[in-house]
Chain A
Amino acid sequence: MKKIYLGALSLLLSLLSAQAQDYYVYVTAESEDEVALIKFDGSDTEVVKRIPVGVWPAEIEGPHGITVAPDGKHWYLSLAHGNPLGFLYKFETGTDEKVGQTTLGLFPASMQISEANGLLFVVNFNLHGDMVPSTISVVDPESMSELKQVTVGTMPHGSRITPDGMHQYSVGMMSGELFEINTMTLEVSRILNLDTNEAIDPQMKDAQAMHEDHSQHSMGGDNAMASMSGMAHQHSATKPTWVMPHPHKPTAYVTGNGSDEILEVDLEQWKIVDRFKGGKGPYNLEISPDGSKLVVSYKSDGSTGIWDLKKKKEIARIENIRKVTHGVVISPDNKYAFISVEGIGGEPGTMEVIDLKKGKRLAYAELGKQAGGIAFWKMED
Chain B
Amino acid sequence: MLAQDLKIVVEPAELTLDVEKNAQLKAKVVDAQGNEVSGQQLFFYSRKGKALEVDSTGLVTAHLPGEHQLIIIAPRTAGGERLRLNYPVKVNYPPISEIKIEEVPSQMYAGTTLRLQVTVMDEMNLVREKVPLKAISTDPSVAATDTYLNLKANKPGKATITVTNGEIESKLNINVIPFSATEVMLESDKDEARTGDVFHFSAKVIDDEGKEISDAPITYSFQGQAEDVSSSASGLIKQDGRFVADVAGMYTIMAASGPYVAQQTVKIMPRQVDRKIELVGKGSVDDKHTSDFWVWEGVDGRDYAVTGTWGADGKAYFWDVTNPSAIERIDSIQVDARTVNDVKVSEDGKICIISREGASNRKNGIVIIDVSNPREAEIISTFTDNLTGGVHNLYIYENHVYALSDGQKYYVINIEDPENPKIVSKFELETPAHAIHDVWVQDGIAYSSNWSDGIQLVDVGNGIAGGSPENPQQFASYAYPSGANHATFPFKSQSADKFYVIGGDEIFPYGLDVNKENMAAGFLHFIDFSDLENPDEIARFEVPNAGSHNYWVDEENELLYASFYNGGVRVVDISGELMGDLYKQGREIAWIIPSDPDGYIPNAPFTWGAQPYKGHIFYSDWNSGLWAARLEPETPEETTLESR
Q: Measuring CB to CB, which residues of chain A are less than 8 angstroms from any residue of chain B? A: 30-33, 52, 54, 57-60, 62, 81-85, 103, 106-107, 116-119, 126-130, 140, 142-143, 145, 147-148, 165-166, 184-186, 217-221, 223-224, 226-228, 230-231, 323-324, 342-347, 369-370
Check if A346 sits within 8 Å of B313, measured CB to CB: yes
What CA separation (Å) do A103 and B433 show in the bound complex?
10
Check if B423 sits within 8 Å of A166, measured CB to CB: no
Check if A227 sits within 8 Å of B425, measured CB to CB: yes
Q: Measuring CB to CB, which residues of chain B are less than 8 angstroms from any residue of chain A? A: 41, 43, 45-49, 56, 69, 71, 73, 75-76, 82, 84, 86, 288, 310-314, 334, 336-339, 341, 357-358, 360-362, 385-390, 392, 405-409, 411, 423-430, 433-436, 451, 470-474, 506, 508, 511-514, 518
Report chain B residues within 8 Å CB of A128. Answer: 386, 388-389, 405-406, 408
Check if A220 sits within 8 Å of B338, measured CB to CB: no
Check if B45 sits within 8 Å of A147, measured CB to CB: yes
Closest chain-A Cβ to B43's Cβ sits at a distance in Å of: 5
Closest to A148 in B: B49
Check if A219 sits within 8 Å of B429, measured CB to CB: yes
What CA separation (Å) do A166 and B82 show in the bound complex?
12
> With A345-B334, A345-B337 as given contacts, are A147 and B388 in contact (CB-CB < 8 Å)?
no
In the A-B complex, list the 4 residue pairs whose CB atoms are closest, starting with the nearest: A57-B512, A346-B313, A129-B386, A31-B358
Check if B511 sits within 8 Å of A57, measured CB to CB: yes
Closest to B511 in A: A57
Residue pairs across A and B with Cβ atoms less than 8 A apart, 5 shown, are A54-B512, A166-B75, A218-B428, A345-B336, A369-B358
Report chain B residues within 8 Å CB of A30. Answer: 358
Report chain B residues within 8 Å CB of A218. Answer: 428-430
Closest to B565 in A: A58
Check if A32 sits within 8 Å of B407, measured CB to CB: no
Report chain B residues within 8 Å CB of A370. Answer: 338, 358, 360
What CA separation (Å) do A81 and B428 show in the bound complex?
17
> With A31-B338, A57-B518, A219-B472 as given contacts, are A342 and B426 in contact (CB-CB < 8 Å)?
no
What CA separation (Å) do A118 and B84 show in the bound complex?
9
Of the candidates B73, B357, B426, B434, the one having the most CB atoms from chain A within 10 angstroms of its own CB is B426
Check if A230 sits within 8 Å of B392, measured CB to CB: no
Check if A227 sits within 8 Å of B360, measured CB to CB: no
What CA separation (Å) do A344 and B409 show in the bound complex?
27
What CA separation (Å) do A128 and B405 show in the bound complex?
6
Check if A184 sits within 8 Å of B427, measured CB to CB: no
Pick the contact of B360: A59, A217, A345 (CB < 8 A).
A345
Report chain A residues within 8 Å CB of B75. Answer: 116-117, 165-166, 184
Closest chain-A Cβ to B39's Cβ sits at a distance in Å of: 15
Closest chain-A Cβ to B154's Cβ sits at a distance in Å of: 53
Pick the contact of A58: B428, B474, B506 (CB < 8 A).
B506
> With A140-B71, A220-B473 as given contacts, are A118 and B82 in contact (CB-CB < 8 Å)?
yes
Pick the contact of B426: A119, A223, A369 (CB < 8 A).
A223
Closest chain-A Cβ to B482's Cβ sits at a distance in Å of: 14
Closest chain-B Cβ to A192's Cβ sits at a distance in Å of: 25
What CA separation (Å) do A21 and B514 show in the bound complex?
35
What CA separation (Å) do A223 and B426 show in the bound complex?
5
Report chain B residues within 8 Å CB of A142. Answer: 84, 86
Chief secondary structure at chain B's binding surface: loop
What CA separation (Å) do A52 and B429 show in the bound complex?
31
Closest chain-B Cβ to A258's Cβ sits at a distance in Å of: 13
Closest chain-B Cβ to A88's Cβ sits at a distance in Å of: 15
Check if A219 sits within 8 Å of B474, measured CB to CB: yes
Check if B82 sits within 8 Å of A227, measured CB to CB: no
Closest to B43 in A: A184
What CA separation (Å) do A70 and B471 show in the bound complex?
51
> With A58-B512, A59-B392, A231-B385 as given contacts, are A140 and B47 in contact (CB-CB < 8 Å)?
yes
Report chain B residues within 8 Å CB of A140. Answer: 45, 47, 71
Closest chain-A Cβ to B80's Cβ sits at a distance in Å of: 11
> With A127-B406, A128-B405, A128-B408 as given contacts, are A143 and B69 in contact (CB-CB < 8 Å)?
yes
Closest to A115 in B: B82
Check if A84 sits within 8 Å of B435, measured CB to CB: yes
Closest to A184 in B: B43
Extra inter-chain contacts (14) besides given A57-B512, A145-B48, A345-B336, CB under 8 Å: A59-B341, A118-B84, A128-B388, A128-B405, A128-B408, A142-B84, A143-B47, A184-B43, A219-B472, A228-B423, A231-B423, A342-B360, A369-B311, A369-B358
Report chain A residues within 8 Å CB of B426. Answer: 223-224, 226-227
> With A58-B508, A60-B357 as given contacts, are A32 and B513 in contact (CB-CB < 8 Å)?
no
What CA separation (Å) do A221 and B434 show in the bound complex?
19
Of the candidates A83, A84, A347, the one having the most CB atoms from chain B within 10 angstroms of its own CB is A84
Check if B405 sits within 8 Å of A129, measured CB to CB: yes
Of the candidates B312, B405, B408, B470, the one having the most CB atoms from chain A within 10 angstroms of its own CB is B408
Report chain B residues within 8 Å CB of A369. Answer: 311, 338, 358
> With A219-B429, A230-B386 as given contacts, are A81 and B406 in contact (CB-CB < 8 Å)?
yes
Check if B470 sits within 8 Å of A224, measured CB to CB: yes
> With A165-B75, A219-B427, A219-B474 as given contacts, are A83 and B43 in contact (CB-CB < 8 Å)?
no
Report chain A residues within 8 Å CB of B76. Answer: 116
Check if A220 sits within 8 Å of B472, measured CB to CB: yes
Report chain A residues within 8 Å CB of B334. Answer: 345
Check if B406 sits within 8 Å of A32, measured CB to CB: no
Closest to B388 in A: A127
